Chain A
Amino acid sequence: MGKPSDLVQGTLDLLILKTISLEPKHGWAIAKRIQQISNEVLQVQQGSLYPALHRLEQQGWITAHWAESETGRQAKFYSLTGDGKNQLEKETANWNRLSQAINIVVAEA
């Protein structure tokens, strides 16, 4: 495993929201999913993941319920709320704007 890339400040929220937008997932699965999709480039540290999940939950953007996981144990599953969907759209738009801008600068300069 290579050195995990530092996540751009604030993008973790976007990644989490996007990851659970299709179906509810528990924390471990979220971290795993981000790692797989990004081809092991993005590694989410537990020390950042759980504070971020709880912060989003306190904000009312995601909601959690306990259910049986694939291994048969009780796990905490996170899913998007209505507010969360709005927030996801907003952050996605933001990210697109930002990354395009960075791409332009990197390509032109």
Chain B
Amino acid sequence: MPSRHKLYMQIRMLFGRNRAGQRLQDELRFHLDQQMSENIASGMSPKDACKAAMRSFGDPGLVREQVKATWNWYNIDKLGRDLKYGVRTLLRSPGFAVVSVLVMALGIGATTSLFTMVRAVLLRPLPFRDPGRLVMLYEHFRQVKSGDGFNAVAPGDYRDWRSQTHGFEDMAAMRGYGGILSGVHSELPEVVQSAGGSANLFPLLGVTPVYGRVFTEAEDQPKGEPVVLLTWSLFQRRFAGDLSIIGKQIHLDTIPTTVVGVLPSWFTYPDARIEFWMPYAQSFTPQDYGMHDGHQSMVVARLKPGVSVEAATREVSTLQYQIHLANASKPVAEDVWSRPMIDDVVKDVKTPLLVLLCSVVCMLLIACLNVSNLLVARAAARRKEVAIRGALGGSRLALIREQMTESLLICVAGGGLGLLLSLASTRWLAAHWRNLPRVDTVHVDGWVFAFALGLVVATALLAGLVPAISSTGKESLSALRESSRSIGGSGSRARLRQVMLTAEISLTVTLLAAAGLLFHSFVRLRTADVGCRIDHVMTMKFGLPEIQYDTREKVLLFHQSLLERVRRLPGVSGAALVSTAPAAGPQGDRVFTILERPAPSYSIQYVAVTLTADPQYFIVMQIPLLRGRVFTEHERLHNDHYIVVSKQFVNQYLAGDDPIGKHVRIWWDTKVETYEVIGEVGDTLYDVTKPVSATIYFPILSGIPDRTSEATIMVHTSVNPLTISTPVRQQISTLEPELPVYNALTMDQILNKTTASQGFAANLVLAFAGISLLLAGVGLYGVLSYLVTQRSVEIGIRIALGAQRPEVLRVVLVDGLRPVLFGAAAGLAGAAVAGSLIRSMLYGASPYDPLVIAGMVGCLLLTAVVACVVPAWRASRMDPMQALRSE
């Protein structure tokens, strides 16, 4: 423990340094005066006495410094002086300082932001009990080569797995669902997303409701007592957090349902848009609950302690193969695949997030190299000063420290600014990244600050150490020896800068290539031919409640009256009904066989997307009729066994033969029906990021309740399609006042929505690449200008000796472009690596697309040539006399 006096001194030295300095001055003065008066007393003249006293005292400045070095806090004092010096040096060239700080702020800010996102989304464990032991189970079809091989699970399979295998502690199932929610008097109807979860789902995850209870096994039956669990957001939004709702009833799809509990606010799995949960089994009819060929569920399982995930999955997979053999004529998968739950949650965003993180790290590196490069240039201008200070005894460490202070200052200022920037940009990213899972956990905390601090230190070292070491080395003394006319004296320094430039260029090429590929793929998506009319089309979805609309006639009546009313609206040039609009996402598919052309092997399944459409749909949407005819008003009610197929259907399953008159047998959930093909139409995409799939259209005028009650009305307008939205809504509510309408979007909006996240990533990476390109250009220009200034004497002599100016231009250009070419070559290797990393983000585009890569490299070369031409041209214009006379 420090003694009382010592503590007192420490405090006094902390706050009274200036006063202490003054007192020291007085103390030393007193000593000198005493010596002087002693000298006078011994008989010297006052002048001699003064001289003698000074001589015996030595250098008062030195003594003062030596004394100060013994004081407490001396190191902080020294740091303060270094900082003051650094700030002064930076302020002497404010342009350089501002640019460097901004560049570092951008780099550090962007990197911190992405780190915050990656940490929250990818690294933080799921908020469930013992999340490391949770895995998701999927079915895997050996024949299906498209997709990632992870297929949704059939309820029958899940139930067999759960009852007959032992590797997992427990398994729970869930499925996405929809529903119309309304009050007990059918008031305030709204269409919301919901989910079905098995009774053991919440206990398995370790989630307890904040109020009420979870489902019981008795409720989790197809005909169980209707109950519902509210999510926190619905509880707050619709019921204003009123606890009295628990135990009361609401209407779900017009069925009176009892509210049994409220889930905690943090529970947003698997999707934050889910508003309520119902028992899993209640989302099926009793027949469907046992089926093995309808795939829609997700299965989460908890590993038993001491059982490996491979062994547990193998056991389930073995069982699944037996189920497959027992249902050989139906689409039942052979295998079961598993993956950790965390991977499952982040599967769609892992690559984009990592790609973005890599690109900002690249950008930060480039920024560091650039600042480093500029510092080397400045150090070169101060070589003589540094050499003289070194020769006079300035320790190398002190000189390095001083130069490091400068880069540290830049990085600290940049880091501080960058942290502010990242606070804003993290919020922006989280808000604008559509469908980002776990986005609610994204926030800035101590770890993020620590990360930013680490970045500041790392960048300061990276940017400052190389120039500081290189400019204070032993050979720095040679600067004193060489005259300003000596040539090539700074060769090693120039080489260092060229190496850094090469690194900078290669990183830029890598980043440019990745950005180019992503952007190319995005543009392809946006310009993809959906196969139908896009402009001036409004779409609106609705679902008729099956309780009221329980017969074909009732559904048909509604559809027909709606079409008649909408077609009469002013500004409407056509209206039609379809189950799901093109490009609006996945829809149901069905297994079928063609009677005239049986499948070559039993295990190959014929699968097609199924849509229902009215006779005018193809005309209104301008989907071309290729063969036969489309539906007429006669294909209605029970006269409904006619279908129209798509071009892809004909190519894939009929090898391009005429489909007209062929018969298709389709498995509905419980029965098989046979249909006659009456026409072939052009392909439409159900998702622009997915390849074309074979499609079957059924007549919507059949009015079959569970197949046609959910429909989208497509309205082609002669006016702005957005203005037609309200009139159409009014027509719908005239026909059925309590029917909610949702997804009112124009075709353009649908396309924007599906390509938004690709565009988001592509635009961000492109922005990073653009900034890097600019930085590389500036760096190149700086280096070459510096080289030209260094070589001005040499160039002057060459010109004086008769070198042609074009020749001078060429020499300097080649000098500047050499690191560019090396860097570009190295960057191509980096681009190959980047290409394989982003492969999964490129929709239908090759990761090695030579055109895109060539274009991007060309872009860089062009920038490089522009950056090099200016100094080269200046060199070739040099007046030899002036160059030789300078200095």
State in angstroms the CA–CA spacing of A26 and B71 once bound together. Answer: 19
| B74 CB to nearest A CB, Å | 9
Stretch of B33-41, B148-156, B399-407, B555-563 on the interface side: B33-41
Instruction: Report yes or no: B71 in contact with A28, Cβ–Cβ below 8 A.
Output: no
- Considering residues A45, A46, A69, which has the most beta carbons from chain B within 10 angstroms of its beta carbon? A46
Partner among A55, A60, A76 whose Cβ is within 8 Å of the Cβ of B3 = A60
Q: How far is the CB of A76 from chain B (nearest CB, A)?
A: 5
The answer to whether B33 touches A58, judged by C-beta atoms less than 8 angstroms apart, is: no
B770 CB to nearest A CB, Å: 56
* Residues 59 to 81 of chain B near chain A (Cβ within 8 Å): 62-63, 66-67, 69-72
B2 at the interface (CB under 8 A from A): yes
- Indicate which residue in B30, B35, B69, B71 contacts A73 across the interface (CB closer than 8 Å): B30
A60-B5, A83-B3 known; A51 and B58 CB under 8 Å?
Answer: no
Q: Which of B10-42 contact A (CB under 8 A)?
A: 10, 13, 23-24, 26-28, 30-31, 33-35, 37
Q: Taking the complex as formed, is A59 at the interface, i.e. its CB lies under 8 A from any CB of chain B? A: yes
A90 at the binding interface (Cβ < 8 Å): no
B162 shortest CB reach to chain A, Å: 75
Considering the complex, which residues of chain A in the window 81-101 have a beta carbon less than 8 Å from any beta carbon of chain B? 81-83
Q: A51-B67, A60-B6, A83-B6 are in contact. Are A46 and B31 (CB under 8 A)?
A: yes
Q: Mark A45-65, 1 if CB is under 8 A from B, else 0.
A: 111001110110111110100
In contact, A27 and B31 (Cβ under 8 angstroms):
yes
> Are A60 and B4 in contact (CB-based, < 8 A)?
yes
- Which residue of the partner chain A has the closest CB to B58? A47
**Residues A55 and B70 in contact in the complex (CB < 8 Å), given A73-B30, A76-B23, A76-B30:** yes
Q: Mark A67-79, 1 if CB is under 8 A from B, else 0.
A: 0010101111000
Contact of B9 with A by CB under 8 A: yes
Interface presence of B266 (CB below 8 A): no
From known contacts A58-B9, A60-B2, A63-B5, infer whether A76 and B66 are also in contact, taking CB-CB under 8 Å: no
> Which single member of B4, B6, B28, B72 contacts A50 (CB below 8 Å)?
B28
The CA of A82 and the CA of B6, in the complex, are separated in Å by 11
Q: Is B8 an interface residue (CB 8 A)?
A: yes
B123 → chain A closest CB, angstroms: 48
A36–chain B nearest beta-carbon distance, Å:
13
Alpha-carbon separation in the docked complex, A51 to B763 (Å): 63
- B57 contacts the other chain (CB 8 A): yes
Asked if A47 contacts B66 (CB within 8 A), the reply is yes
**Contact between chains at A81 and B5 (CB < 8 Å):** yes
Closest B residue by C-beta to A50? B67
Shortest CB–CB separation between residue B611 and chain A, in angstroms? 88
Tell me, in angstroms, the Cα distance from A45 to B71 when the chains sit together: 19
- Say whether A27 contacts B63, CB under 8 Å: no
Q: Closest chain B residue to A56 by CB distance?
A: B70
Which range contains the number of A residues in contact with the other chain? 20 to 34
Considering only CB atoms, which chain B residue lies closest to A69 in the complex? B30
Cα A61 to Cα B2 in complex, Å, equals 11
Q: Contact check, B70 vs A74: say whether CB atoms are below 8 A apart.
A: no
CB-CB nearest in chain A for B65: A51
Given A46-B58, A51-B66, check contact A58 B71 (CB 8 Å). yes
Q: Tell me if A54 and B5 are in contact (CB < 8 A).
A: no
Do B72 and A46 touch across chains, with their CB atoms under 8 A apart? Answer: no
Contact among A50, A61, A66, A82 with B66 in the assembled complex (CB-CB below 8 Å): A50
Which residues of B sit under 8 angstroms from A27, Cβ to Cβ?
27, 30-31
Given A26-B30, A28-B30, A75-B30, A51-B69 contact (CB < 8 Å)? yes
CA distance A66 to B2 in the complex (A): 25
Most chain A CB neighbours (cut-off 10 Å) among B13, B37, B58, B67: B67
* Contacting residues, chain A, for B72 (C-beta < 8 A): 58
Q: Is the CB of B63 within 8 A of A58?
A: no
Chain B residue contacts of A54, Cβ below 8 A: 24, 67, 70-71
Q: Given A46-B31, A51-B70, are A57 and B9 neighbors across the interface (CB < 8 Å)? A: yes
Q: Which residues of B have CB within 8 Å of A50?
A: 24, 27-28, 31, 63, 66-67
Would B71 and A47 count as touching, CB distance under 8 A?
no
Within the complex, which residue of A47, A59, A73, A74 is in contact with B62, where a contact is CB–CB below 8 Å?
A47
Nearest residue, chain B, Cβ from A52 = B70
Give the distance in Å from the alpha carbon of A19 to the alpha carbon of B33 in the complex: 22
Cβ-defined contact, B58 with A28, below 8 A? no
Q: Which residues of A contact B8 (CB under 8 A)?
A: 60
Q: Which residues of B (845-880) have their CB < 8 Å from a CB of A?
A: none
Within 8 A of A (CB), among B202-257: none
* Complex interface: chain B residues within 8 A of A26 (CB): 27, 30
Contacts of B58 in A (CB 8 A): 45-47
Chain B neighbourhood of A60, CB < 8 A: 2-9
- Considering only residues 20-59 of chain A, those with a C-beta below 8 Å from chain B are 26-28, 45-47, 50-52, 54-55, 57-59
A74 to B4, CA, bound (A): 26
B35 cross-chain contacts in A, Cβ below 8 A: 28
Query: What is the bound-complex CA distance between A42 and B395, given in angstroms?
Result: 33
A83 adjacent to B5 (CB under 8 Å): yes
Q: Which single residue of chain A is at the shortest CB-CB distance from B30?
A: A75
Contacts of B62 in A (CB 8 A): 47
Which chain A residues lie closer than 8 Å to B9 at the CB level?
57-60
A-B contact pairs, 18 of them (CB 8 A): A46-B58, A46-B63, A47-B63, A50-B31, A51-B70, A52-B70, A54-B24, A54-B70, A54-B71, A58-B9, A58-B72, A60-B9, A71-B37, A74-B26, A76-B23, A76-B26, A76-B27, A83-B3
Known: A50-B27, A76-B30. 7 other contacts (CB 8 A): A26-B27, A26-B30, A51-B63, A51-B69, A52-B70, A58-B72, A60-B3
The chain A residues found within 8 Å of chain B, CB to CB, are 26-28, 45-47, 50-52, 54-55, 57-61, 63, 66, 69, 71, 73-76, 81-83
Q: When A and B form their complex, which 8 residue pairs have the shortest distance between CB atoms, in order from nearest? A: A60-B6, A60-B5, A55-B70, A28-B34, A51-B66, A54-B70, A83-B3, A28-B31
